[in-house]
Amino acid sequence: MPDSHRIEALPKLVGQTVAVRGWVMTTRSSGKIAFVVLRDGTGYLQAVVSKKDVPDAAWEAFGRLTQETSIEVRGALRADARAPGGVELQASDLGILGASADFPITPKEHGTAFLFEHRHLWLRSRRQVAIARVRHEVIQAIRDFFHERGFVLVDTPILTGSIGEHAGTLFATDYFDLGKAYLAQTGQLYVEAAAAALGKVYCFGPTFRAEKSKTRRHLTEFWMVEPEVAWNDSNDNMKLQEDFVSYIIARCLERRKTELAELERDTAPLERVAPPFPRVSYTEAVEKLKALGSEMEWGRDLGGDEETLLAKQFDRPVMVYDYPRAVKAFYMKANPADPRTVLNNDCLAPEGYGEIIGGSQREDDYDKLLARIRAEGLPEEAYGWYLDLRKYGTFVHSGFGLGVERTVAWICGIPHIREAIAFPRTLYKLWP
């Protein structure tokens, strides 16, 4: 195919004649002058087609343009302050590459169910393109943050033999003669092993939870980044989290202004995200919630409503630490000051987005960890290797997991996390 340019590159080419390929969003015409707005994923461009300036075939092709027809337009670029991207193309030729009859998603309102059935086409809409670009920035920021700080990426397995978090939310599959394999709920146990090899590590990949929950915060497949650091205690762990979250937000504010504007995101609450984040112990959180009229009792995990109510009391993300042992995973270190609790924390995002991070200092005492594995009824033989980390040079270590979709939903200001991933998987959704 002959050379063409991406729309994002056009502002630098004003005065030149270029060809652009893309998909038709809208057309309008008044007699002998016509307009077509196209998109190519990198931007939006208006082309002006004057009957007198184009071959008859091009004028005739314009008449056949429908929403999402793929086309090539050639012409001279001129500056136009009112146009998207500041340029407009005066067409000298236009050709259809692929027809599009009756595109199902029209500019009118559609219901959510309909849109998700057409997710493969809905991805082309302006809002969805903006969300995808913010997600990309979040992921790039995550990688840069750890790379700049000397962390080593360690890819952990997706097919696993041991339960990472909760027995209740496992996807299992038959694994040859070795019994059941589980889809990873977390890479944590493996990065703990890698932290003893490399000091500062992280894994980043898809994780799976057979969550029967229908909330706007749960997917069955979601992306999680999990750093793990040798010699960090719970306090250091929270420090790393606030620096990390602040870095991601700052990056998006700096580099994704256009997309956040497209999403009509009020960025004022995001601009307040800077260390230090307020810290509240679980016990204090229960007292606060009761004072605010909640039915919360000491010993229960915080639910979505409680997280929202609590987070509303602060102008930036809040750290809730030292939860009751009974509601948290087996690997968290018992709190020496109060053995009913563990040295963990959740990071709650403001504006009703709730928990975006769960983290903890890990139990580094062999006997205590074994006792927890037994108390939870976990199959001991599957954890021999994990217990070894406490047998050969045990070490203070901590880490956390940040859910990408919850973070993207918060930054974009979208109500449901299923729009924060291209092809969401939920209790009801396996297609497309």
Task: Tell me which residues touch ligand NSS (CB under 6 A).
Answer: 165, 186, 188, 209, 211, 218-219, 222, 224, 226, 355-360, 399-401, 403, 405-406
Pairing of strands 344-349, 44-50: unpaired
Please list, in sequence order, all residues whose beta carbon lies within 8 angstroms of the beta carbon of residue 95, skipping any fewer than 6 positions away. Answer: 57, 58, 61, 71, 72
The distance of closest approach from Cβ of residue 158 to ligand NSS in the complex, given in angstroms and rounded to an integer, is 14
Which residue, 165 or 262, has its beta carbon nearer to ligand NSS? Answer: 165
Letter string b/e over residues 235-258, b meaning 16 or more CB atoms within 10 A of that residue's CB = eebbbbbbbbbbbbbebbbeebee
Which residue, 89 or 356, has its beta carbon nearer to ligand NSS? Answer: 356
The distance of closest approach from Cβ of residue 40 to ligand NSS in the complex, given in angstroms and rounded to an integer, is 31
Q: Cβ distance 163 to 380 under 8 Å?
A: no
Which residue, 27 or 246, has its beta carbon nearer to ligand NSS? Answer: 246
Based on its alpha-carbon atoms, the radius of gyration of the chain, rounded to whole angstroms, reads 26
Which residue, 41 or 413, has its beta carbon nearer to ligand NSS? Answer: 413
* Residue 142 in tokens: 């995550």
**Element at 77 (helix H, strand E):** strand 70-79
Q: Cβ distance 191 to 410 under 8 Å?
A: no
The distance of closest approach from Cβ of residue 110 to ligand NSS in the complex, given in angstroms and rounded to an integer, is 25
Which residue, 88 or 307, has its beta carbon nearer to ligand NSS? Answer: 307
The distance of closest approach from Cβ of residue 312 to ligand NSS in the complex, given in angstroms and rounded to an integer, is 18
- Compute the distance between CA of residue 68 and CA of residue 102 in angstroms, rounded to an integer: 9
Which residue, 317 or 358, has its beta carbon nearer to ligand NSS? Answer: 358
The distance of closest approach from Cβ of residue 415 to ligand NSS in the complex, given in angstroms and rounded to an integer, is 15
Which residue, 59 or 247, has its beta carbon nearer to ligand NSS? Answer: 247
- Compute the distance between CA of residue 254 and CA of residue 246 in angstroms, rounded to an integer: 12
The distance of closest approach from Cβ of residue 117 to ligand NSS in the complex, given in angstroms and rounded to an integer, is 21
The distance of closest approach from Cβ of residue 253 to ligand NSS in the complex, given in angstroms and rounded to an integer, is 21
Which residue, 93 or 355, has its beta carbon nearer to ligand NSS? Answer: 355
The distance of closest approach from Cβ of residue 363 to ligand NSS in the complex, given in angstroms and rounded to an integer, is 12
- Compute the distance between CA of residue 15 and CA of residue 13 in angstroms, rounded to an integer: 6
- Compute the distance between CA of residue 226 and CA of residue 389 in angstroms, rounded to an integer: 18
Please list, in sequence order, all residues whose beta carbon lies within 8 angstroms of the beta carbon of residue 96, skipping any fewer than 6 positions away. Answer: 61, 64, 65, 69, 70, 71
- Compute the distance between CA of residue 197 and CA of residue 40 in angstroms, rounded to an integer: 45
* Residue 363 in tokens: 């139990």
Tracing tokens 């750093």 back to the chain, one arrives at: 227
- Compute the distance between CA of residue 384 and CA of residue 387 in angstroms, rounded to an integer: 5
